């Protein structure tokens, strides 16, 4: 049985979550931002670290900050791959949760972000191509003895494609999250406004964010 190693956060107050996927457009930033707001809604302090040169998570946080929305208990930093251990160590000393958004690749540059993690989250959008791209990230996570949780993003419940992708994820011997983020316009709209989907009207998106946050929290 695989003995999972705890990340750098094991010796600190906070837990580190690394969100990784080789394929671009899988929803890493969507998952990162919504988990951040899910944990904030649960009363936890959250720090975000963006090591993706595209900087989408940083853009989301700055949009939120500049709009004067509530950022209490939140912090943001950028980092290089080689500096991620130091950055996470520093932020985990003063935050309950540290979420790391990574670039769309699975190679040696990603390893430091995996090594520092207490949990690796791998978003999978609704396509077989995303599943194929997931294999590299899962292999790296196994090499680092890290628990990886595959999260279905833009899910279409009840469809054949949804079932096929879920089955393919299970065949990779990956842990598949029960909670899913649905194919809802509100996720894209909220992201562009510097918000989480749980800050919008009551509805399925809010419930999905809360369910995913609770499931992730149970694994930390």
Instruction: Dump pLDDT digits (tens) for 70-89.
Output: 999 999 999 998 899 999 99
What confidence tens digit (pLDDT) does each residue in 150-171 have? 999 998 877 887 788 778 777 8
pLDDT for res 106: 60
Helix, strand or coil, per DSSP, at residue 136: helix
CA distance 58 to 187: 17
Average pLDDT over residues 27-51: 97
Task: List C-alpha distances in Å: 5 to 12, 161, 220.
Answer: 15, 34, 12
Among residues 116, 46, 47, 45, the alpha carbon closest in space to that of 83 is found at 116
> What's the mean pLDDT when you consider all of the chain?
89
pLDDT for res 187: 97
Q: CB 56: neighbour CB atoms within 10 A?
A: 16
Q: Which CATH class is domain 9-219?
A: alpha beta
Work out the angle at residue 78's Cα, subtended by the Cα atoms of residues 138 and 175, and round it to the nearest 5 degrees.
20
Task: Evaluate whether 98 touches 9 at the Cβ level (below 8 Å).
Answer: yes
In the chain, % of residues over pLDDT 90: 68
pLDDT for res 4: 46
Q: What is the pairing mode between strands 74-78 and 119-124?
A: unpaired
CB-hemisphere CA count at 13 Å for 147?
A: 18
pLDDT for res 9: 41
Q: Which residue has the higher pLDDT, 44 or 125?
A: 44
The structure tokens listed for 39 are: 């944990």
Q: Where are the domains of the chain?
A: 9-219
Read off the pTM: 0.91
Average pLDDT over residues 30-39: 98
């Amino acid at each position: 049985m695989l003995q999972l190693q705890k990340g750098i956060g094991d010796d600190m107050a906070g837990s580190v979550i690394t969100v990784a996927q080789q394929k671009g457009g899988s929803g890493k930033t969507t998952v990162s931002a919504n988990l951040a707001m899910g944990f904030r809604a649960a009363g936890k302090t959250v720090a975000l670290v963006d090591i993706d040169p595209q900087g989408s998570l940083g853009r989301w946080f700055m949009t939120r900050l500049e709009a004067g929305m509530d950022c209490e208990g939140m912090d943001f930093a950028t980092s290089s791959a080689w500096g991620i251990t130091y950055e996470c160590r520093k932020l985990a000393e003063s935050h309950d949760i540290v979420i790391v958004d990574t670039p769309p690749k699975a190679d040696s540059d990603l390893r430091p972000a995996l090594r520092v993690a207490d949990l690796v989250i791998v978003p999978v959008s609704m396509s077989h191509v995303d599943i194929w791209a997931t294999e590299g990230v899962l292999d790296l996570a196994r090499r680092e003895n890290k628990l990886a949780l595959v999260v279905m993003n833009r899910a279409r419940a009840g469809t054949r494609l949804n079932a096929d992708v879920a089955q393919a994820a299970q065949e990779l011997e990956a842990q598949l999250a029960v909670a899913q983020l649905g194919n809802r316009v509100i996720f894209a709209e909220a992201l562009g406004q510097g918000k989480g989907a749980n800050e919008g009207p009551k509805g399925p998106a809010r419930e999905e964010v809360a369910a995913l946050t609770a499931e992730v929290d149970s694994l930390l």
